[in-house]
């Protein structure tokens, strides 16, 4: 009897590649253990459903996001004392940025238009990440997108000119890579990315939970604050954190790109 092996599918190849990349990301402290596990499933779903073009979009987001997060790292640790999460990305952060995209990739096997939504979700995540990482290093203090009042560097809802330009650049970059997925993808994906990043800032300045440290006399997203003191609610919904905002942004990016797809 001759034993024949079934040919490898995109899901098989995706699983191997995703496992290798997730392990590298874990070893280099880009992801923690839970983040690496979720990233494995996101990567497998992406390559399995969309092949190399989908993987190119995913890697364009992930590689640039990690690189920018490490630019000016020591300065950011000093500036971002009021931000909720620092360090390696965890499972919740990976799901918030890549979960909708992975779902849309799988749905594209049933309805090809979801490939636009997949790229739109990553365009929103990339635009937001580029805007945050570059805007944090801006020379001038950020201002609230809603009230235009100065806010502490890194707090959600704050915008700067360099950060805003970076958001547009991030959306355009992913839209350009998404041309590998579909030659008609540029405009829908770019629009989705910009819309998602804009919503991220608006939600960050309104519904996202913001607290007050009575000891340091400053607003913060941390509980307890970095000084160790317990904080009190200042604004927003207690359960509406940065990960929820990011999730909403990627949903918006996906929805806009899907609606504009032709």
What is the rounded CA–CA span in Å between residue 66 and residue 60?
10
- How many C-alpha atoms does 158 have within 13 Å on its Cβ side? 26
pLDDT tens-digit readout, 196-243: 999 999 999 999 999 999 998 888 888 888 888 899 999 999 999 999
pTM equals 0.94
Query: Are the CB atoms for 22 and 63 separated by under 8 Å?
Result: no
Q: Over range 248-261, report the average pLDDT.
A: 98
Domains of the chain, residue spans: 10-260
């Amino acid at each position: 009897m001759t034993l024949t092996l079934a040919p490898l599918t995109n899901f098989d190849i995706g699983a191997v590649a995703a496992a290798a990349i997730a392990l590298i990301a874990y070893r280099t402290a880009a992801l923690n253990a839970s983040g690496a596990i979720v990233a494995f499933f996101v990567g497998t779903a992406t390559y399995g459903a969309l092949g190399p073009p989908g993987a190119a979009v995913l890697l364009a987001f992930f590689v640039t996001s990690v690189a920018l997060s490490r630019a000016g790292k020591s300065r950011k640790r000093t500036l971002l004392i009021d931000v909720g999460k620092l360090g390696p990305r965890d499972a919740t952060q990976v799901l918030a940025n890549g979960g909708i995209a992975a779902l849309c990739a799988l749905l594209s096997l049933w309805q090809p238009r979801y490939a636009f939504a997949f790229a739109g979700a990553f365009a929103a995540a990339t635009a937001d990440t580029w805007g945050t990482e570059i805007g944090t290093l801006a020379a001038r203090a950020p201002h609230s997108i809603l009230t235009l009042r100065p806010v502490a560097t890194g707090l959600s809802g704050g915008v700067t000119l360099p950060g805003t330009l970076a958001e547009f650049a991030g959306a355009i970059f992913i839209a350009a890579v998404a041309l590998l997925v579909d030659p008609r993808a540029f405009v829908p994906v770019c629009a989705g990315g910009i819309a998602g990043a804009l919503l991220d800032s608006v939600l960050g300045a309104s519904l996202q939970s913001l607290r007050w440290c009575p000891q340091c006399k400053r607003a913060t997203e941390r509980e307890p604050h970095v000084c160790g003191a317990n904080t009190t609610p200042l604004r927003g919904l207690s359960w509406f954190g940065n990960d929820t905002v990011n999730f909403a942004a990627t949903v918006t990016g996906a929805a806009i790109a899907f609606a504009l797809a032709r």
